[in-house]
Amino acid sequence: MIPESQSAVIARNETWRGQVFTEPYEAGWAREAVVFVTALANATGPAGTAHLEISPDGMRWAREGTSFTLPTTKDSIAFARASHFGNWLRLAVEMPATAELVALVTIHSKA
C-alpha cells in the first residue's frame, strides 16, 4: 500500500496579532511533516516568528526547537520541517507590537 500523505489547512485567513497558537493537529500516523505559513496579504509592521511545538496530549506544549521567520509579502511562504514529533503539532506565533499578518497554515504530513 502507498504510504499515507495528507495536506491539512489548519488556519485560513486568520489575522495574527500578538501571541497566537494554531489549533492542535494530531498526526501520530505521520513520520514527517512540513508546516507552511503563507501570507495572504502584505503584512503590517515587522516580521513575526513561529515556533514549532509538540505535546504528549494535545493540551500541554513544549517548544520542539525549530523556529522560523514569518513571511511579510503577499503570497510569500515560510516553512519548517518536523520529524520525531510524536502525536501532536502546533505553531506558537509571536508577532511584534503593531505587527499583523493574515495567514494560511498548511501541514503536509507523510507516513
Partner 1 sequence: MNADDLRRAMQLADPRLSRFDPLPRIIAFDDFDRGFCGWTQLVGNYEHTLDSMLPGYAQHSQAMLSTLTTWDFGSHGSHDGSYALKIATKAKRGAQNVAVKRLTFRKRGPLRLEFYFTFKPEANALRLLETDVRAIGFLYDFQTGDQDGDAWRVMPHLRFLNAENGAHVQKWQFKPRTMPFKELGDEGKIVSHYHLDPSGWEDLPGGHQRLCYNEIPTKVNWHYACLDFDLATMQATGFRCNDRAFDLTPFAPIRIPAMRNLWCMLNLAFFAETDTDKRAFLYVDSVCLSGDF
Residues near partner 1, by CB under 8 A: 1, 4, 6, 8-13, 23-29, 40, 56-60, 87
Residue 54 amino acid letter: I
For partner 1, give the closer residue by CB, 46 or 111.
111
Cell of 14: 486568520
Report the nearest approach of partner 1 to the CB of residue 71 (Å).
17
Query: Other C-beta atoms within 10 Å of 19: how many?
Result: 10
For partner 1, give the closer residue by CB, 6 or 73.
6
Report the nearest approach of partner 1 to the CB of residue 94 (Å).
20
For partner 1, give the closer residue by CB, 60 or 97.
60
Query: Other C-beta atoms within 10 Å of 103: how many?
Result: 26
Report the nearest approach of partner 1 to the CB of residue 44 (Å).
16
Which residues neighbour 2 within 8 Å (Cβ) at sequence distance 6 or greater?
none
* DSSP letter assigned to residue 71: P
